[in-house]
């Protein structure tokens, strides 16, 4: 019954190899920067607004990779609202219908990940905190 004695060392070696691979992938880096909305910009409920960003993607197999956006209404403390479905990782904009969720502290988080290749990574954008107004702008 030496099999159980071999399992622990094998698991430790497997974990070490996996951790090494994940660290190597993360060092290839993922980062994203929001272009729009800009810091302090006011958006209105029901408005169609183009969200744009730049991103540096890790060097990895693109199979199973995706990007998604989440919205925070409390300055980035929590991100409870998904505002996109899964998008191809090379996407750099999408048109968004602004929800009727007034706040002076809206923040977006740009998520990226690849199943089995790169862990889900978050990129909150507090430097681009924007406003969702109480109502639509006055008509002149």
Domain spans, the chain: 3-132
Beta partners for 65? 114
The predicted pLDDT at position 71 comes to 98
Q: Model confidence over 31-42: pLDDT tens digits?
A: 999 999 999 999
Q: What is the pLDDT of residue 2?
A: 53
Over 70: is that where the pLDDT of 29 sits? yes
User: Which of 58-62, 92-96, 120-124 is predicted least confidently?
Assistant: 58-62
Is pLDDT larger for residue 81 or for residue 64? 81
Kindly report the average pLDDT of the chain as a whole number: 82
| pLDDT the model gives residue 20 | 36
For the stretch 69-95, pLDDT in tens is: 999 999 999 999 999 999 999 999 999
Beta strands across the sheet bearing 31-36? 31-36, 48-56, 93-97
What b/e sequence results for 58-82 when a residue is b if at least 16 CB atoms lie within 10 Å of its CB, and e otherwise?
bebeeeebbbbbbbbbeebeebeee
Q: Which helix (H) or strand (E) holds 93?
A: strand 93-97
Class of domain 3-132: mainly beta
Instruction: Give the per-residue pLDDT at 60.
Output: 73
């Amino acid at each position: 019954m030496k099999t159980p004695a071999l399992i622990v060392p094998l698991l430790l070696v497997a974990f070490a190899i996996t951790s090494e691979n994940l660290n190597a992938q993360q060092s290839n880096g993922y980062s994203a920067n929001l272009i729009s909305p800009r810091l302090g910009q006011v958006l209105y409920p029901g408005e169609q607004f183009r969200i744009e960003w730049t991103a540096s993607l890790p060097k990895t197999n693109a199979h199973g990779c995706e990007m998604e956006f989440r919205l925070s209404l409390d300055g980035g403390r929590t991100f409870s609202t998904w505002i996109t479905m899964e998008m191809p990782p090379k996407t750099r904009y999408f048109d968004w219908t602004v929800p009727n969720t007034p706040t002076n502290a809206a923040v977006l988080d740009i998520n990226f990940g690849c199943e089995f290749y790169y862990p889900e990574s978050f990129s909150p954008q507090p430097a681009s905190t924007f406003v969702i107004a109480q109502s639509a702008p006055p008509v002149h």
